[in-house]
C-alpha cells in the first residue's frame, strides 16, 4: 500500500496528538479511510490510538483491515535484526 | 472467537518460548491455524512472535487475519482504563 495523505505514522509524540490527528482526518478533512502505521515498540501504541479514536471519539469507525509485516536488516554490529510493523485501516461505517 | 487448543496467549515468558509453541502446533500437532493473542504492552511482542514464526521458521505460514479490539474497565482508583488486544490468526499456505 502506498503512502497517502490519510496515513498517520505513530512515533514518540504524545498519545493524544495521534488520536486528534485521526479524528481530524475524518471530521475536518472528511476522509473515508485513515491508515495508522507503526513499527517495533510503537505497534501497541498504534492499536491503542485506533481503538480510542474509533470507540471513544468517533463511534462510527471500524478497523476494516489490519496488516502485519516485518523486515530484516543488519544492525551496526552486523547482526540480523527483524523489525515488525502494523497498518491499521480505519473506515467510516455507513 | 472462542478459545481453542490452538490459541497462544502472549505474556511475560521469554520470546522464544512462544515462537517454539507456535511452530510446535504446526509441526508436531499438525494444526491448520494457530491464533496468537495478546493484550496491552504485549501486543508488539505478539506481532514479533508471529512474524518470526512465519518468516524465519515456517515459511509457508501467513497471518490470514488480524483483529484488534479493546475493553474499558475501572481501575482501583475508579478511573476508566481502556486496554487494547490483538488476535493474529496464522494459517498454513496450501
Unique residue bearing C-alpha cell 475508579:
B78
Q: Give the C-alpha separation, A46 to A55, whole Å.
A: 14
Tens digits of residue pLDDT in A15-60: 999 999 999 999 999 899 999 999 999 999 999 999 999 998 998 8
Tens digits of residue pLDDT in A78-90: 998 999 999 999 9
Tens digits of residue pLDDT in B46-60: 999 999 999 989 988
Helix (H, G, I), strand (E, B) or coil at A6: coil
Phi and psi at residue B53, to the nearest 5°: -65, -40
Structure ipTM? 0.88
Phi and psi at residue A88, to the nearest 5°: -110, 115
Q: Chain B: nearest CA to A87, how far in angstroms? A: 10
Q: For residues B20 and B53, is the Cβ–Cβ distance under 8 A?
A: no
Confidence of residue B10 (pLDDT cuts 50, 70, 90): very high
Q: For residues A8 and A18, is the Cβ–Cβ distance under 8 A?
A: yes
pTM for this entry: 0.90
**Quick check: A41 and B44 CB within 8 A?**
yes
With a cut of 90, say whether residue B8 has pLDDT above it. Answer: yes
Q: What does pLDDT average to over chain B?
A: 91
pLDDT at residue B60, as a whole number? 86
For residue B29, what are the CA distances in angstroms to A67, B34, B64? 27, 11, 19
Contacts with B61 from chain A: Cβ below 8 Å: none
Q: Give the C-alpha separation, B33 to A62, whole Å.
A: 25
State the CB neighbour count (10 A cutoff) for residue B7: 16
pLDDT at residue B53, as a whole number? 95
**Quick check: B84 and A41 CB within 8 A?**
no
Relative to beta strand B61-74, strand B33-39 is unpaired
Average confidence (pLDDT) over A57-83 = 91
Confidence of residue A2 (pLDDT cuts 50, 70, 90): very low
Domains defined for chain A, CATH in brackets: 3-92 (3.30.110.20)
Residue count of chain B: 94
The DSSP letter of residue A63 is: E
pLDDT at residue B47, as a whole number? 98
pLDDT at residue A3, as a whole number? 43
pLDDT at residue B4, as a whole number? 52
Say whether residue B62 is in contact with chain A using an 8 A CB cutoff.
Answer: no
- Chain A contact probe: residue of B11, B48, B50 with most A CBs at under 10 A: B48
Say whether residue B67 is in contact with chain A using an 8 A CB cutoff.
Answer: yes
pLDDT at residue A59, as a whole number? 81
Amino acid at each position: 500500500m502506498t503512502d497517502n495523505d490519510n496515513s498517520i505514522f505513530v512515533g514518540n509524540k504524545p498519545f493524544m496528538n495521534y488520536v486528534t490527528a485521526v479524528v481530524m482526518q475524518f471530521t475536518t478533512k472528511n476522509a473515508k479511510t485513515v491508515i495508522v502505521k507503526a513499527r517495533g515498540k510503537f505497534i501497541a501504541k498504534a492499536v491503542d490510538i485506533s481503538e480510542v479514536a474509533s470507540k471513544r471519539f468517533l463511534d462510527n469507525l471500524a478497523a476494516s483491515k489490519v496488516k502485519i509485516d516485518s523486515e530484516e536488516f543488519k544492525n551496526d554490529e552486523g547482526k540480523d535484526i527483524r523489525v515488525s510493523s502494523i497498518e491499521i485501516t480505519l473506515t467510516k461505517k455507513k
